[in-house]
Amino acid sequence: MKITFPARSGNKMSRILFLLSMAIPCSCFSQVLNGGFENGSGADLSYWEWTCNAASFNSSPPGGGNWCMKVTGGNMQGCFPGYSYQKIPSITNGQTFILSGWAFAETSPIVGIYFGKINNGIITMQAGSTTASASWTQLSVQSGFVLSAGDTAVVILYGGLVGGPGQGYGYFDLINLEQVTGVPAIEQKRSVSIFPIPFSSATTVQTDEPFKNATLTVYNFCGQATRKTEHISGQMFTLYREDLLSGVYFFSLTEDNKIIIAGKLLITDN
């Protein structure tokens, strides 16, 4: 897959958003408590509630430890809807977040992670990311919570819905809710193409105009610089993974102390 970011025109200012979504557990700005569903090496479902049923399950995605949460999906002949959820009272309107995690489905046609709200026991799902895969799949969605008076923000793990008599389940791990942080950026004047995306060992970044003596900086999902390479010139360079863990990263290329291009990177172990 090849991703191309078009050049920006005029005198508009842009912002590089360091989105908070990775496959490894991190608590730098996490709003969710116990998103890994374990305490040390033991199973733990503390801070989570559910509408039908939920249980610890001995399976996890890469970097997930030993345990995940198995959420009983809704059943039209029994209990529905099938959610697990966590209330986050501190969240208000106007904040933007990245909700991320891993999930897979058993029998349920679709499971997923969602922004949502709860009011007088009634849960409403909002923006989300879903999968029908029977193997661990990374999910991520950027949004804000739409809240009215009396609403409390919740993160929802949706176990799916079946008509019965069979039963479906959703499995979840490494759930993170991270507030989007930003760094002011100079106008992006050039188009950039990145190939391949995602990548496991190396990817090539190419621009429509040459750059000289530029500096490449790679940031993790917490907005922290994880790598810096100086004195880059030309129209193309190769970024090698080396010691970077799998997940989502962002990069900027600066020339004369101005950010001339920026983009997103996705690293996998496949």
**Higher pLDDT residue, 195 or 30?**
195
CB 150 within 8 A of CB 121: no
Q: Which residue has the higher pLDDT, 71 or 19?
A: 71
Question: Which pLDDT value is given to residue 126?
Answer: 92
Residue-range domain boundaries for the chain: 3-18+181-267, 38-179
- Rounded to whole angstroms, the Cα distance separating 173 from 58 reads 11
For 24-33, what is the mean pLDDT?
Answer: 56
Highest mean pLDDT among 6-10, 76-80, 91-95, 112-116: 112-116
Residue 16: the pLDDT is 39
Question: pLDDT tier at 223 (50, 70, 90 boundaries)?
Answer: low
The residue type at 12:
K
Mean pLDDT, rounded, of the chain: 80
8 A C-beta contact, residue 34 and residue 173: no
Q: Quote the distance between the C-alpha of residue 129 and its chain's center.
A: 10
Q: Which two tokens stand for residue 264?
A: 């997103």
pTM over 0.75: no
Q: What is the mean pLDDT of residues 8-16?
A: 37
To which residue do tokens 């033991």 refer? Answer: 42
CB atoms within 10 A of CB 216: 18
Per CATH, domain 3-18+181-267 is 2.60.40.1930: yes
Q: Are 188 and 259 in contact (CB under 8 A)?
A: yes
Mean pLDDT of 66-93: 90
Among the four given CATH numbers 3.65.10.10, 3.30.428.10, 2.60.120.260, 1.10.3720.10, the one describing domain 38-179: 2.60.120.260
Residue 153 banded pLDDT, cuts 50, 70, 90: very high
User: Cα dihedral sign for 84, 90, 92, 98?
Assistant: negative
Instruction: Determine which of 9-23, 113-127, 143-157 has the lowest per-residue pLDDT on average.
Output: 9-23
Average pLDDT over residues 169-187: 73
- Count of residues making up the chain: 270
- Where does the pLDDT of residue 184 fall: very low under 50, low under 70, confident under 90, or very high at 90 and above? very low
**Joined tokens for residue 80:** 């529905």
Nearest-angstrom CA–CA distance, 201 and 199: 6
The candidate with the shortest Cα–Cα distance to 47, out of 175, 160, 180, 144, is 175
Q: Which helix (H) or strand (E) holds 11?
A: none
The structure tokens listed for 24 are 């490894």
Mean pLDDT of 39-49: 88
